[in-house]
Amino acid sequence: MALSGSTRYDSATRQLDQAVARTGAGARSAVGSVAVVAALFGAVPPVSAAWLAPVLAVHLVWTGLYIRVFWRKRPLPHWLVAGDVAITVALCLAQVHLVATETLVTGSSWVHGAVTMTIVMAGVTWRPALAIPAGLLLAAAFATGVRLASPGHGVLGPLGIHLVQLLAIVLLMTLLRRAARSADAFLRQSARAEISLIVERLRREDELRQVGSIHETALHTLTMVGLGTYDEPSPTLRAQVATDLAALERLRDQPGADPAPIALDTLLDEVAGRATGLDVHRRLTPETVPGEVAERFARAVTEALANVALHAGVHEAELVSARRDGGILVEVADAGRGFDQHRLPPDRFGVRGSILDTMRSLPNGGAEISSGDRGTRVSLWWRP
């Protein structure tokens, strides 16, 4: 009986980045749109239309890029946030031409809101090493712009607010990222434990089949003797008894450290059947391998199929196993969009850890990934 659930874990870090990206892009889109409206309604002297029109046009275009990220549910590009920082710094320094004096006094200018949003976007997108300098730059630029527009106006209040905002978002994201990394470690262990349980179940099933087969054979021999089928010594009986006894001795003497081999095709078939959101076409050659080897193959195939479902943009994949050059070759292939494995971000543990490292750390094992415009092929192998 197949175990319920899925052996696939999804990266908590990746889920956090996706959630933050969509939420951040949505918030930035809304704030950017409101800022344009507020700037137009607040365009009273000394606001210069010659300055305001091109600035708002650039700001609106950049807001449109955030709307596109939100709509397509894509990760936040770092260049988009960097551009936002540069545009907002320019807005801050040009406040004398963009913001009415009374809004500077009350601290309610649309530029003030843009600075706050940009600090938040830098904090959720970048690590502290980049987010903190960017936030400090924005806070300093805003204070400088206010002084240029109104030399007598105090800037300590807005400066303090921006610094608190920067500190809060950096601390929040640091805690969330740390929690996501801890969750990833737990999920990886859980996925491995579940695969180990499947392997152990298949091993036990195989052992029970062996015991059942031996039991039926020995019982049949004893029954024939008890019924008097053999009234005198028989070479056939002697051979059969010797065979049964040898099988029983092998079962008794089987060391616990060297468990029964696993049917790799059965294990891979179960793993493929548990893949979420993917139709896996299978061509599996019957083969038995040691439990550790079967478990390594299962982990790598699980991750490879999950990557297809999450990133390839297709709903079909192919899983093939075969004997080749005295070894066992397992391949997972898809016809989706490929990727450059040399440019993967550090949090993409799956490709490096669950596929390449898992198989390459196995004696006589290995793995290779080829990817391009026509799809991706993950090749896994092991030689006895």
Q: How far apart are CA 27 and CA 118, in angstroms?
A: 11
Confidence of residue 5 (pLDDT cuts 50, 70, 90): very low
* Mean residue pLDDT across the chain: 81
Distance of CA 132 to the CA centre of its chain: 27
309-335 residue pLDDT tens: 877 888 899 999 999 888 999 999 999
Strand partners, 371: 376
**Which pLDDT belongs to residue 249?**
63
Distances (CA, A) of 286 to 122, 172, 262, 269, 320: 53, 52, 11, 11, 11
pLDDT at 297 over 80: yes
What the block records as the tokens of 33 is 């749109």
**Which pLDDT belongs to residue 192?**
67
Query: What is the 8-class DSSP label of residue 2?
Result: P
**Which pLDDT belongs to residue 1?**
32
Q: Are 138 and 119 in contact (CB under 8 A)?
A: yes
Residue ranges of E strands in the chain:
262-263, 279-284, 288-289, 316-324, 327-334, 365-372, 375-382
272-285 residue pLDDT tens: 887 777 889 999 99
Task: Please state whether the predicted TM-score (pTM) of the whole model is above 0.75.
Answer: no
